[in-house]
Chains A and B, each alone.
Chain A
Amino acid sequence: EIVLTQSPGTLSLSPGERATLSCRASQKVSSSYLAWYQQKPGQAPRLLISGASSRATGIPDRFSGSGYGTDFTLSISRLEPEDFAVYYCQQYGSSPLTFGGGTKVEIK
């Protein structure tokens, strides 16, 4: 099973700042099959990125994903008030599909 470790656990930033979130896999993620989701309190996860770097429909271009192999990054170029949430990565290159433990982006 591929274990995904997200860091930091919590990121305290101000609106307008850049956020950089890390997702590290215990083994290589095949074909860069990595997705990122955003979750706000009381809501379901929302797909942001698939294939490590492809934005989902309707996702603003301030969100970008990168990485390959075992190290992946989600960047938010300029934080908007609605971006403060928890972010999860998920690998789908091997079974079982697994999720990371999440990074909370909070207002500083």
Chain B
Amino acid sequence: QVQLVQSGAEVKKPGASVSVSCKASGYTFTSYAISWVRQAPGQGPEYMGWMNIYNAHTNYEEKFQGRVTMTTDTSTSTAYMELTSLRSDDTAVYYCARVRGNYHYHYMDVWGTGTTVTVSS
């Protein structure tokens, strides 16, 4: 079955960087884009951006421009999201998700297992 399995929880200090991985299985990895969404404790989801796995094109939400980088390793069917200059309000569960619809205007039909990132001094 289609699965997205993410890396484990992280605890970081303010100013540090975090990298989250997302390993896909059960479908042709290069046929779908991957988006990243985060959810702060008790809040609704917040969209961060997406990556076209086939050509590595990325599109980041303005709020995260300059701090987020999305990459992929097609040889291992894994997507990565790095967030730098971490602040306490970056504490959240980070999800990768498979994109459906067209690339710019899409919804997500399969979600990853989630990675909890805690930013604390």
Contacts and interface: CB of A to CB of B under 8 A. Distances in A.
Interface of A: 30, 33, 35, 37, 44-47, 50, 56, 88, 90, 92-102
Given A90-B45, A92-B107, 8 more contacts: A44-B111, A45-B95, A88-B44, A93-B105, A96-B61, A99-B45, A101-B43, A102-B44
Q: Dominant SS at the A interface?
A: loop
Q: How large is the interface on B (under 10, 10 to 19, 20 to 34, 35 or more residues)?
A: 20 to 34
Give the most central of B97, B105, B109: most A CB within 10 Å. Answer: B105
Contact of A44 (B44, B101, B106, B113): B113
Contacts, number: 55
A56 B114 contact: no
A95 B109 CA distance: 19
B104 A95 contact: yes
B107 A50 contact: yes
Contact of A50 (B62, B100, B110, B114): B100
16 contacts: A37-B45, A44-B97, A44-B111, A47-B107, A47-B111, A50-B107, A56-B109, A92-B106, A93-B105, A95-B105, A96-B61, A97-B47, A97-B106, A98-B47, A99-B45, A101-B43
A99 B44 contact: yes
Given A44-B95, A50-B101, A99 B111 contact: no
A35 B61 contact: no
A30 B105 CA distance: 10
Contact of B44 (A30, A47, A100): A100
Interface string B75-112: 00000000000000000000101001100111111111
